[in-house]
Chains A and B, each alone.
Chain A
Amino acid sequence: MFRLPADKLNEFFAAIASAQSLYIPVDGDDGRASYKKWTEGTALSKALNTVRSAKDFFFPQTTDICDFNMNGKNIEIIDNRTESEDFVIFGVRACDARSFTILDKVFLAEPIDTYYATRREHGTVITMACTEPEENCFCGVFGIDAAAPEGDAACWMTEDSLYIKANTEKGEKFIESIKSMLEECDSSAVDAQKAKTKEILEKLPFANVSTDYFRKNTLLDIFGSEHWKKLSESCLGCGTCTFVCPTCQCYDIKDYDTGHGIKRYRTWDSCMYSDFTRMAHGNSRNSQVERFRQRFMHKLVYFPDNNNGEFGCVGCGRCLSRCPISMNIIKVIKTFGEE
């Protein structure tokens, strides 16, 4: 483990940013945090988390796929892909860090999604342990430790110091590159912080929510449950939950006529939308009950079934704060769990 005096944080950021792009959570004028590229004078946000998840770094809202030049009956395909530049995301919370390994299972499965893979390869994820998790947090339900986050290297901030420890080879390389600023230390200060955070985590309202129901019951029984109708009744189908979700990965592929050719791009999509599955001859998920059920079945049943039991949720709580009708995955898990 290494230590950096807290008053050297700015120099630390400057050193990283001199070698590659550095992104950190920054408070906006509206008081909400978002990731911004660090430049001299950019201050690290103290917010619990960013409004949008960190998935944008690897799976941006839109990605160019390729261009087409149309000339009479002929088509020319232009592959504009470039290698991603090296970059560092600093201050990622434990929940968002886990979301990357979940997205990896989708995008790095054969055939590898090269747009995602190049960003993943060139991005270094530096996480920041939580010290003040709030009532909407429930990462612990999915076995995530907010006090000891994953990522290439993890950080802990105390009043006078930043502590950093590598989790991966990439993290070790990163620490090596800025080692001259760091001093080696023991983990006593970090251990003390972890113990304090653990006490808060244990008292959070959703700390003891159990997902057992989804492991003990069959796909068809859960799918056929009466609960879905009631749970989805007030869903507006706005898709907000899917856009703030760090693990939602559904996308659409669209073409745009630029006037000098066609740009094909992919863009985030939402299973909550009525045209998501609509075909010329009909729609396999015709009503909001079916679309709502799809979203939660995917996270709680289908994804785990295909990925050694790992749930497709990281408990970041964004959908809890953002849903306009206050429906969310916790209510779904609890409704089934209380059966």
Chain B
Amino acid sequence: MMLNETLIPKIGVVTDIRQDTPDVKTFRVVGTDGNKLFEHIPGQCAMLSVPGVGEGMFSITSSPTNREYMEFSIKKCGCLTTWLHMMDVGQQITVRGPYGNGFPVESTFKGKDLLFVAGGIGLAPLRSVINYVRDNRANYGKVQIVYGSRSMDDLVDYKEIIDEWMKDDGIEVNLTIDREQEGWDGHVGFVPNYVKELNPDLSKTVVMCGPPIMIKFTLAGLKELGFNETQVFTTMELRMKCAVGKCGRCNIGNKYVCKDGPVFRFDQLDELPNEY
């Protein structure tokens, strides 16, 4: 009997598909027995594949507190993701994981006031943490979510934000879109500027994910306000094949994003080459 081989995946069944934005869909996945495939920590990822098309790393956007299924919010941007977007409910795909370190929800984050900053599809990995915190509310302080997108149509999970997050006590949600749009009476402007305007309390721990340009300027803005890099966490993505630190491509310096990451603190990234 040979040991389990991590490169050999399990079968996942797509039980629900939700169109979140014109180019983002959220897929609900369970095992062939109808149960969740495996447990994970918020921020961890899984390799999804369509045999014959390809395999890729995606963040698990559902919270581990969801005992029934896993969800993946996927933006259509390449070969594999286009195929995934063409799927119907009932389609089987392959899944392996969980991979990566995840966010320190049971250590560093505990008892802290949290500020989530997300741009576009960058909300996908943070949604897992946000819902985990909501489901374990007593363990965390105040929660503030700043989320921005190109337009109101591009806000991922918009319904959940309005119907659930905004109604929760102790959660402040600040949405913004890049340009004025008919039917939008919320904030207009880029995320980095909005974060500065909101002038968050310096005691907050920041969790950030979004396009590189947003991350760069938001981090600069937070530092201007007086935040320290040790307070700011992000999650990275680079091309991956094995997901276990052996195939050699997702490294930033001597760290592999797949196993040492994808979650890094900015002071940790400072010690690594700027090659991402």
CB A294 to nearest CB in B, in angstroms, measures 8
- Give complex CA distance A271, B248 in Å: 8
- Give complex CA distance A277, B52 in Å: 20
Q: Which bracket fits the contact residues of B? A: 35 or more
CB B225 to nearest CB in A, in angstroms, measures 27
- Give complex CA distance A262, B54 in Å: 11
- Give complex CA distance A127, B11 in Å: 44
Residues of A within 8 A of B93 (CB): 75
CB B212 to nearest CB in A, in angstroms, measures 9
Whether a CB of chain A sits under 8 angstroms from the CB of B238 is yes
The stretch of A19-27, A76-84, A167-175, A187-195 in contact with B is A76-84
- Give complex CA distance A77, B8 in Å: 8
Q: Which residues of A contact B (CB under 8 A)?
A: 65-66, 68, 70, 73-75, 77, 79, 81, 83, 106-107, 109, 111-115, 117-118, 219-220, 223-224, 249-253, 255, 257, 262, 264, 266, 269, 271, 276-281, 284-285, 290, 294, 297-298, 301-303, 305-306
Residues of A within 8 A of B239 (CB): 276-279, 284
Q: Is the CB of B248 within 8 A of A298?
A: yes
Interfacial residues of chain B within 24-55, with CB under 8 A of chain A in the complex: 51-55
Whether a CB of chain A sits under 8 angstroms from the CB of B106 is no
Q: Is the CB of A83 within 8 A of B2?
A: yes
Q: Is the CB of B51 within 8 A of A75?
A: yes
Interfacial residues of chain B within 193-246, with CB under 8 A of chain A in the complex: 237-239, 241-242, 244-246
Partner of B273, one of A68, A107, A220: A220
Residues of A within 8 A of B166 (CB): none
- Give complex CA distance A219, B269 in Å: 13
A77-B276 CB under 8 A given contacts A83-B2, A111-B244, A115-B5 = no
Interfacial residues of chain B within 250-269, with CB under 8 A of chain A in the complex: 250-254
Whether a CB of chain A sits under 8 angstroms from the CB of B81 is yes
- Give complex CA distance A278, B250 in Å: 10
Task: List 24 A-B residue pairs with CB atoms under 8 Å apart, sorted by A's residue number.
Answer: A65-B8, A68-B51, A74-B92, A75-B51, A75-B93, A83-B2, A107-B246, A113-B5, A114-B2, A219-B272, A250-B248, A252-B241, A253-B241, A262-B52, A266-B7, A269-B248, A269-B249, A271-B249, A279-B78, A281-B77, A284-B276, A290-B275, A298-B251, A301-B254
Q: Is the CB of B247 within 8 A of A269?
A: yes
Q: Is the CB of A280 within 8 A of B77?
A: yes
Residues of A within 8 A of B238 (CB): 277, 279, 284
Known: A219-B253, A277-B250. 12 other contacts (CB 8 A): A74-B92, A77-B10, A115-B5, A219-B271, A220-B272, A220-B273, A249-B246, A253-B247, A277-B238, A277-B249, A284-B238, A302-B253
Residues of B within 8 A of A118 (CB): 2
- Give complex CA distance A73, B248 in Å: 33
| Residue from B242, B245, B273 whose CB has the most chain A CB atoms within 10 Å | B273
Q: Which residues of B contact A (CB under 8 A)?
A: 2-11, 51-55, 77-78, 81, 88, 90-94, 237-239, 241-242, 244-254, 271-273, 275-276
Name which residue of chain A comes closest to B244, CB basis. Answer: A111
Residues of A within 8 A of B8 (CB): 65-66, 77, 79
| Residue from A276, A298, A302 whose CB has the most chain B CB atoms within 10 Å | A302
Q: Is the CB of A302 within 8 A of B254?
A: yes
- Give complex CA distance A118, B1 in Å: 11
Q: Is the CB of B92 within 8 A of A223?
A: no
A276-B249 CB under 8 A given contacts A73-B90, A253-B241 = yes
Residues of A within 8 A of B9 (CB): 77
- Give complex CA distance A73, B241 in Å: 24
Name which residue of chain A comes closest to B53, CB basis. Answer: A255
CB A186 to nearest CB in B, in angstroms, measures 43
Q: Is the CB of B92 within 8 A of A75?
A: yes
Residues of A within 8 A of B247 (CB): 250-253, 266, 269
- Give complex CA distance A253, B241 in Å: 6
Q: Is the CB of A253 within 8 A of B11?
A: no
Name which residue of chain A comes closest to B90, CB basis. Answer: A73
Q: Is the CB of B92 within 8 A of A109?
A: no
Q: Is the CB of A223 within 8 A of B273?
A: yes
Residues of B within 8 A of A301 (CB): 254
A306-B273 CB under 8 A given contacts A114-B3, A117-B3 = no
Partner of A253, one of B55, B252, B254: B55
Q: Is the CB of A77 within 8 A of B11?
A: yes
A68-B52 CB under 8 A given contacts A79-B8, A117-B3, A306-B254 = yes
Partner of A81, one of B5, B77, B94, B253: B5
Q: Is the CB of A251 within 8 A of B90?
A: no
Residues of A within 8 A of B244 (CB): 111
Q: Is the CB of A255 within 8 A of B254?
A: no
Residues of B within 8 A of A269 (CB): 241, 247-249
Partner of A251, one of B51, B248, B254: B248
CB B243 to nearest CB in A, in angstroms, measures 10
Residues of B within 8 A of A264 (CB): 51
- Give complex CA distance A328, B242 in Å: 28
Residues of B within 8 A of A65 (CB): 5, 7-8
Residues of B within 8 A of A285 (CB): 275
- Give complex CA distance A223, B93 in Å: 40
8 smallest A-B Cβ distances: which pairs?
A: A280-B78, A250-B248, A68-B51, A302-B254, A262-B51, A280-B77, A305-B254, A75-B92
Residues of B within 8 A of A70 (CB): 51-52
CB A38 to nearest CB in B, in angstroms, measures 28
